[in-house]
Structure 1
Amino acid sequence: MGDMLWLDKLVQDWWWGLQLLIWGLRGVTRVILANNPLSGLLILAALLWASPWQALLGIVGVLCSTLTAIITGQDRSEVCGGLHGYNGMLVSLLMGVFSSSRDWYWPLLLPVCLGSVTCVLLFSSLSSLLDRWDLPVAVFPFNMTILLFLLCTGPQHPYFPRHWSVPPGARDMNATQLNVLQVLRGIPLGVGQIYACSALGPSLLILGAVLLYSPILAVHALLGSAIGTLAGLSMAVSQSCLYSGLSGFNGALGCMAVGGLFFTFSWRTHLFAISSAFFSAYMDIALSNLLGTVGLPACSWAATIVATLMMLMTGTLKAYRIPIGHVQSPEQNLRSCNQWEAGSPTDRDRESTDV
C-alpha cells in the first residue's frame, strides 16, 4: 500500500487528535523503515499481543517524542512523516526490556518520557550535521540515549534496576546439540526483535505489516535476518542468540536499508543489500562482545553505521542512491526511476537521483 500520502491530505482539515494519531502510527512503522499508518496499527496489535506493558511503553514513547517535536517547532513535514516518533518508541521499548523490575512498574514512565524528549533534541542536532551529506539521522538518537540510560543505571540500582547484557560469544551453560527448527524459527523472530519482540506470532504479524507496506522490503527483511543468523552460526554465537532472533535483526535492518529503500532496487543493489546484511551481522557480533564485557547491549549500532557507510560509497552504488527527501516505498522508488529513465533529457537533468 506504500506511503499512503493521500491520507495526510485527506485529514489535514480534520480534528487535530486524529492527525496526531496518524503521525504517531507513521512513527511506529519508521522503526522498521516503513511509513504506513495501517502497518502501524498492525504493529501495535502485535506488541499488544506480545506484551501489553511493552505496548504501553511504546505508545507513551512515540506520543511523547512527537508532542515534543511539535512544541519545539520542528519541521512539520518531518513530524507528519513520523520521523520524530520512532526513536522515542525504540528507547521506551528497550527500557522496558532491560528493566529487571516487574511489569507495570509505573516509575519507569519517568525515564521513558525523558528519554523520548532527549531523542527529539538529538535528532534535531544531528540532522543539521548529517544533512550536509544528505544522510538520514536514522536511529543514532536511540542508540545514544539508551546507552546513556543503561550506563546511569545498573543491576543494583534502587529505582531502575536492569538486566546485565551477556555477550553473544559467551557459551551457554546447558548447551546441547543445535536444534535446526529453533534456528529456522529465529529467522522471523529476527524481524520481531527490531521491536524487541521475541514471540513468534507477533513477529509474523510485524512481518505482515511490512509486507502490507512493501513486498520488496518484507523480502529483504526475511533475507537479512536469515543472513544474520547464518553469520551467527559461522561465529558460533550462543544458542540463545540464534533461537531468539537476536542474531538476525541487525542483518535485517542493514539489508532493508540498501535493498530498495535508500537505493533504487536492482540486481546490483540487491547484491549490495546482501553484503550489507553480512557486514551488519558481523559488526553486531563484534560490538556485542565488546560492550557485553561491561553489561551493555550493542542495540542497532551495527546496522546504522553500515547503512550510513553504504550511503557514502562512490562508484556503482552511488548511481542508485535516492536523495533523502525523495525516499518513498521501494516500489514507488522503482516506479519513479523507470519514469525518469523514460523521460526527456531535460527531465533527467531535473529529476536526477545522483548525489
Structure 2
Amino acid sequence: MERILQGFERAAGASPAIRFIDVMLRGAGQVMFMDNPLTGLFFVAAIVWGAFAVDAPLVALAGLLALAVATGTALVGGFDRASWRVGLYGYNALLTGLALGTFLAPGAMHFVFVVIAGAFSVVVSEAVGRFLKVHAVPGLTFGFVLTAWLFLLASHGFAGLPAGGLPTAVLPGGATVVASDPLAPGAFLAGVALSISQVFLKDSIIAALLFLAGLAVASLPAALLALAGAVIAVAVAHLAGAESDLVTGGLLGFSPVLTAVALGTVFGKPTPRGLAYAAFGTVVTVIAQAALNAGLAPFGLPALTMPFVLVTWLFLLARPAPAA
C-alpha cells in the first residue's frame, strides 16, 4: 500500500492534472480528517455506490462537482497552498454538494447553485479558519453547515429551485416512544452502519463498509473510534427513547461518529483519559443532535453536522492541559 501511495505521489509530482485529482481525493478523505488519497478513493467509491443504490446518481455528481469547483477555486484564487495540497478546501464543498443534491430538486439551476456553493465554501472555510485560529481550534465542518444552510434557505425564495427534499417546517413535538430494551441485533447493526454512512448523507450499509475501509487504510484507530462512536450513539439514542426510524437510520449517529474520531485520535490521544473524554463528548453529541433537530424543525432545516461542530469546539476549548 505504501508503494502504491509513493507511486501515485511521484505521478502527481510530474503531472498537474494528476496532482489536481490527488488533492480532490485528499479533500474527500478530509471529511473524516484523513490526508490520504487512497482513503479519498474509498470514500468517493462509497458515495457513488450509495447514490446509485437509491437511484440518485445526480447526488454523487453534485458532491463531486462541488469538490472539483472548490479545489480549482482555492488553487486559482491564491489561497494557502499548503492547505490546498492536503485537501482542506475540498471537504466542506463535497458535503455541501451532497446536501444540495439530497435536499434540492435536480435541474439546471440546482447545478448552478452547486457550483456557486462549492466556490463559496472555500471563502467560508478560510474565513472561519482565520477567525478561530486565535483560539487554536479548527473550523471542522462549519464551512459546510453554514454554506448549506444559506443555500437551502435561499431555495425558498427561488421558484426555479424547489426544495423537495427538505424536512417539512413543523413545531417540535414529542418523540414516538420506543422500548428501552436493546434493539434487535439486525436493527442495532444497521443503525451502527448507517450512522457511519450518513456522515456523507448516504443510507447504505455497503457504503458504510467502504467508508470504514477507507478510514482503516489511513488510520486503524480512527476506524475503530468511528465504529465505537456509532455504537455509543445508537445505544444512547435508543435508551433515551428516540424515534426508532431515526436510530436505525443512523440519523442520530453521524455527528457522534465524527466527534468520536475528532476527540479520540485526531485532536486528542487515545489514552484511557482521552478516550473517556471522547466517549463523553460522543454522548453529548447525541443529545445535541436531538436538540438541534428540534430547534431547527420550525425552519424546515436539517441540523447536518452542526451538533458535531458545536460539541467538538466546546470540548477542544475546555480540554484539560497535559499533565506536567
What TM-score comes out, normalization by structure 1 length? 0.81
Superposed, 1:50-65 pairs within 5 Å as: 50-51=50-51, 52-65=57-70
Report the equivalent of 1:42: 42
| Offset, 1:225 | 1.1
Partners of 1:279 and 1:171 lie apart in 2 by 18
Match of 2:260 among 255, 260, 274: 255
| Offset, 1:16 | 0.3
Report the equivalent of 1:14: 14
Partners of 2:277 and 2:182 lie apart in 1 by 30
Superposed, 1:23-42 pairs within 5 Å as: 23-42=23-42
What are structure 2's unaligned runs of at least 5 residues? 52-56
Match of 1:135 among 134, 137, 155: 137
Match of 1:119 among 118, 121, 126: 121
| Offset, 1:264 | 2.2
Q: Could you tell me whether the CA contact under 8 Å between 2:96 and 2:148 is conserved in 1?
A: yes
| Offset, 1:234 | 3.0
Indicate whether 1:319 and 2:315 are aligned. Answer: no
Q: Could you tell me whether the CA contact under 8 Å between 2:13 and 2:19 is conserved in 1?
A: no
Partners of 1:314 and 1:215 lie apart in 2 by 24
The more displaced of 44-53 and 255-264 is 44-53
Report the equivalent of 1:338: none
Q: CA RMSD in A?
A: 2.7
Write out per-residue CA displacement over residues 49-106 of structure 1, whole angstroms, 9 at most, x where no aligned residue: 121322211110111011111111111110010000000000000111112x35xx34
Q: Could you tell me whether the CA contact under 8 Å between 2:192 and 2:227 is conserved in 1?
A: yes
SS across alignment from 1:271: helix
Partners of 2:198 and 2:158 lie apart in 1 by 26
| Offset, 1:172 | 6.0
| Offset, 1:308 | 1.3
SS across alignment from 1:31: helix
| Offset, 1:7 | 6.6
The more displaced of 34-43 and 157-166 is 157-166
What are structure 1's unaligned runs of at least 5 residues? 321-353
Indicate whether 1:308 and 2:313 are aligned. Answer: yes
Partners of 2:301 and 2:182 lie apart in 1 by 26
Partners of 1:220 and 1:144 lie apart in 2 by 26
| Offset, 1:13 | 3.6
| Offset, 1:109 | 1.1
Report the equivalent of 1:152: 154
> Match of 2:162, as an amino acid?
F
Q: Could you tell me whether the CA contact under 8 Å between 2:28 and 2:91 is conserved in 1?
A: yes
> Match of 2:205, as an amino acid?
L
Partners of 1:314 and 1:49 lie apart in 2 by 38
> Match of 2:37, as an amino acid?
P
> Match of 1:50, as an amino acid?
G
Superposed, 1:168-187 pairs within 5 Å as: 171=175, 180=184, 181-187=186-192
Partners of 2:209 and 2:265 lie apart in 1 by 21
Q: Could you tell me whether the CA contact under 8 Å between 1:182 and 1:243 is conserved in 2?
A: yes
Q: CA, structure 1 residues 46+13, in 2 after alignment: closer, same or farther (shift >3 Å)?
A: closer
Match of 1:294 among 291, 299, 310: 299
Q: Could you tell me whether the CA contact under 8 Å between 2:109 and 2:160 is conserved in 1?
A: no
> Match of 2:21, as an amino acid?
L
Q: Could you tell me whether the CA contact under 8 Å between 1:154 and 1:162 is conserved in 2?
A: no
Q: CA, structure 1 residues 308+5, in 2 after alignment: closer, same or farther (shift >3 Å)?
A: farther
Partners of 2:245 and 2:238 lie apart in 1 by 12
Report the equivalent of 2:207: 202
The more displaced of 117-126 and 78-87 is 117-126
| Offset, 1:9 | 5.9
SS across alignment from 1:319: coil
> Match of 1:126, as an amino acid?
V
Partners of 1:155 and 1:189 lie apart in 2 by 33
What TM-score comes out, normalization by structure 2 length? 0.89
| Offset, 1:313 | 1.7
Report the equivalent of 1:277: 282
| Offset, 1:156 | 9.0
Partners of 2:204 and 2:319 lie apart in 1 by 40
Superposed, 1:68-107 pairs within 5 Å as: 68-99=73-104, 101=105, 105-107=107-109
Write out per-residue CA displacement over residues 205-257 of structure 1, whole angstroms, 9 at most, x where no aligned residue: 11111111111001110111111112221332222211211111111111100
Report the equivalent of 2:54: none
| Offset, 1:171 | 4.7
Q: Could you tell me whether the CA contact under 8 Å between 1:191 and 1:245 is conserved in 2?
A: yes
> Match of 1:32, as an amino acid?
M
SS across alignment from 1:163: coil
Q: CA, structure 1 residues 127+97, in 2 after alignment: closer, same or farther (shift >3 Å)?
A: same
